[in-house]
Structure 1
Amino acid sequence: MKTSEITEMTINEIEERLDAEKQELSRISLNHHISPLENPMKIRHTRRNIARLLTILRQKQLNEK
């Protein structure tokens, strides 16, 4: 997910997407511990997406105040 796509989202949409990404990360990590993933870089991409979402969410929250 690109930063430009995230900035166009509302705070509620970002929070929903953040929850979905966190669930995806936990699912991927568990599957990777059981048997190796075909593409282990997916874990890194998911973690970075979560970080992007958190950063932009915090920026939007600060801009509202």
Structure 2
Amino acid sequence: MKIAEIKELSTKELIERVDAEVAAYDQKRINHTITPVDNPAQIKQQRRTIARMKSELRYRELNNK
């Protein structure tokens, strides 16, 4: 997910999306330990997407106060 797409989401949608992405990331990591994923770079990409979303949430939190 691109930064521009993240900024277009409302705060509520962004929070829900972060929760969903974290759950999917955890599941993918567990599955990877059991049976290796075809492309382990997907795990890295998903982790970075979560970080981008959390950064945007923190930015919004600091600017609203």
Instruction: Mark the runs of 5 or more structure 2 residues left unpaired by the alignment.
Output: none
**1:30-45 residue pairs with structure 2 within 5 A?**
30-45=30-45
Number of aligned residues:
65
In the other structure, the counterpart of 2:24 is: 24
Does 1:54 find its partner at 2:62?
no
In the other structure, the counterpart of 1:11 is: 11
Instruction: Mark the runs of 5 or more structure 1 residues left unpaired by the alignment.
Output: none
Deviation string, structure 1 residues 6-43 (Cα, Å, up to 9, x no partner): 01111111100000110111110011000110111110
Q: Distance in 2 between matches of 1:63 and 1:9?
A: 16
Q: TM-score w.r.t. structure 2 length?
A: 0.95
Q: TM-score w.r.t. structure 1 length?
A: 0.95
After TM superposition, give the deviation of residue 44 of structure 1 in Å: 0.2
Q: CA RMSD in A?
A: 0.6
Question: % of aligned pairs identical?
Answer: 43
Q: Distance in 1 between matches of 2:26 and 2:20?
A: 10
Q: Distance in 2 between matches of 1:39 and 1:26?
A: 16
Q: Distance in 1 between matches of 2:58 and 2:11?
A: 9
